[in-house]
Amino acid sequence: MKKLKKPDFEKLSAGDKVRIVMNNETKEGFLLESHEPGILLLKLNNGYNIGLKKEDISEIKLLEKNKKEKKDKEMKLSGQKPIIDFYLTGGTISSKLDTKTGGVEWLIDSKELFNIYPEIFDIADIRVKSPFMKASENMDYKDWIKIAKLVKKSLNDTQIKGVIISHGTDFLHYTASALSFMLGKLNKPVVLTYSQRSSDRGSSDSRLNLICAAHAALSDMAEVLVVGHANINDEYCYALQGNKCRKMHSSRRDAFKPVNCKPLAKIWADGKIEISRDFNKRNKNKIIVDAVFDPKVSLVKFYPGEDPDILDYYLKKGYKGIVIEMSGLGHVLSQGKNNWIPVLKKAIKKGLLVYAAPQTIYGRLDPYVYSPGRKLQEIGVVFLNDILSETAFVKLGWVLGHKNWRGTVSTKLKMLENINNEFNERLGMSFLI
C-alpha cells in the first residue's frame, strides 16, 4: 500500500481506489472524474457517489491504481476446458463502472469480462459475443428472434457445451419465454442470468450469478433456464424454468421466483447441483429454430371499472389477438354500463382472438365456478389455465407468427397445447417457497 505524505491530487487519477481521511472520518472508494477544481468525487464501496471539498481532506492513501492502466490479458481458448458461448445483450450484469462519470458502461469483449469475473474462466473457456447491448425495457420481439437464431448456431456446434445470455432483469422473463418456444426442445442448456446490482458494489449479485450460470451451462439440464440468487445471501442460486418464472421484486438480489412450480435445481459456486424435478436432458439432436412472431398482439390488464371500449382500439389498429389479465378465477366486469361481456362478444365476432390469463400470478383459472366465467367461455374467450400472463402474450405472438396456425380453432388448439411445459397439469402447494 502506497501512502502519499500530503493530499497530492495531481498523482491520482479517475479509477484509483483510495482511502480518504477528513475531519477524523475515513472514507474508501474509487475516484471519479470531477469537473470542479475544488471538489473530489468518490464512489463509495456501497455504490453511492459523494463530493468532497479538497480543502477538508487531510490525508489520502492510494490503495490500488486504476485497473485500466494495467495491460489487458489476452484471452485465448485453453483447449483444456469445455467451451461456453457467452452472449452479452445488456443489463446491469453486462456493464462496468465508468470511473470518469461514476455511472456504468457496457462490457465489450472477453478481456473486460475476465477483468471483472475471472472465476468463470476457471470453469470453462468462454467465447464472448455481443449481438447488441440494450436495457431489457428497450428490447422487443426482433431482439428475441435475433438471439434465437444466434443461439441455434451455438447449440448445433458440437464444440460448444452450453450457452449463457446476460440480460437486464426487467423483461428477462419475456425473452426466456420467447426462447422456450422459438428454440423448442433443446440439446444443451441455454442460461439467462442477470444482476440487480452493478459489479463495483460490494453487495453485487453478479459474481455468484455468473459462476452458477457457468455451472448450469455445463449441466445436463437442456432447458431455457433463468439462473440467479435463491435468497438475499450469497449462498446458492436457483435454476428456474424460463417460461415459469418472473421478476417479483424491484431491487432484491433474489428477484426471480418460480411460478406454480419448483425450481429445477439449486446450484452452488463450487459446482454442486441439487436437482428438484424432472427436466429435458442433454442430447445430440440438432436444433431447428422456429423464430417467428406477430407483433399485432397485446397484453391487457383488467382493473376495476375499466371501460371495455379499449377493445375498439385493438380492432381499429388491426390487432389479431389479446391476452387479458383477469381477476381471480377469470373475471371481468360483467354488469352495469361497462359490462365487458357484450363488448367482448362483438369483438370476437369481428375476428379478435381473446385469451384469459390469471392476474393472481399463482394458481389457475377456472371458468366453471362462477357464472360470469361460464359466459366468457360461451362467447369464445379461451382460458389458459395456470400460464403466466407474460408467457401467454409471448406464446400468442409466436403462435400467430405461423400463418398456417391462424384462425379461431387452430390458434386455440396451439394456445392450449402444452408446447414446452408452460402449463402444469396439477398444482400442489410445494412450489410456494
Grid coordinates given for 102: 461514476
SS (H, E, C) 144-155: HHHHHHHHHHHH
How open is the CA angle 40-66-61, to the nearest 5 degrees? 55
Is the distance from CB of 197 to CB of 205 less than 8 angstroms? yes
Note the maximum CA span of the chain: 83
How open is the CA angle 278-285-215, to the nearest 5 degrees? 50
Rounded Cα–Cα distance for residues 282 and 125 (Å): 19
Rounded Cα–Cα distance for residues 110 and 83 (Å): 13
Phi, psi of 309 (to 5 degrees): -60, -15
Q: Which of 92, 99, 391, 411 is catalytic?
A: 92
Q: Is 247 a residue of the active site? A: yes
Q: Which of 161, 188, 244, 247 is catalytic?
A: 247
DSSP classification of residue 282? P
Is the distance from CB of 3 to CB of 61 less than 8 angstroms? yes
CA 65 and chain centroid, separation = 34
Grid coordinates given for 220: 445436463
| Nearest CA among 379, 385, 297, 302 for reference residue 344 | 379
Q: Which of 81, 146, 157, 170 is catalytic?
A: 170
Q: Which of 89, 99, 169, 411 is catalytic?
A: 169
Is the distance from CB of 379 to CB of 340 less than 8 angstroms? no
Rounded Cα–Cα distance for residues 341 and 344 (Å): 5
Is the distance from CB of 85 to CB of 152 less than 8 angstroms? no
Q: Is 170 a residue of the active site? A: yes
101-111: b (≥16 Cβ within 10 Å) or e: ebeeebbeebe
**Amino acid of residue 98:** D
Residues with a catalytic annotation lie at 92, 169-170, 247
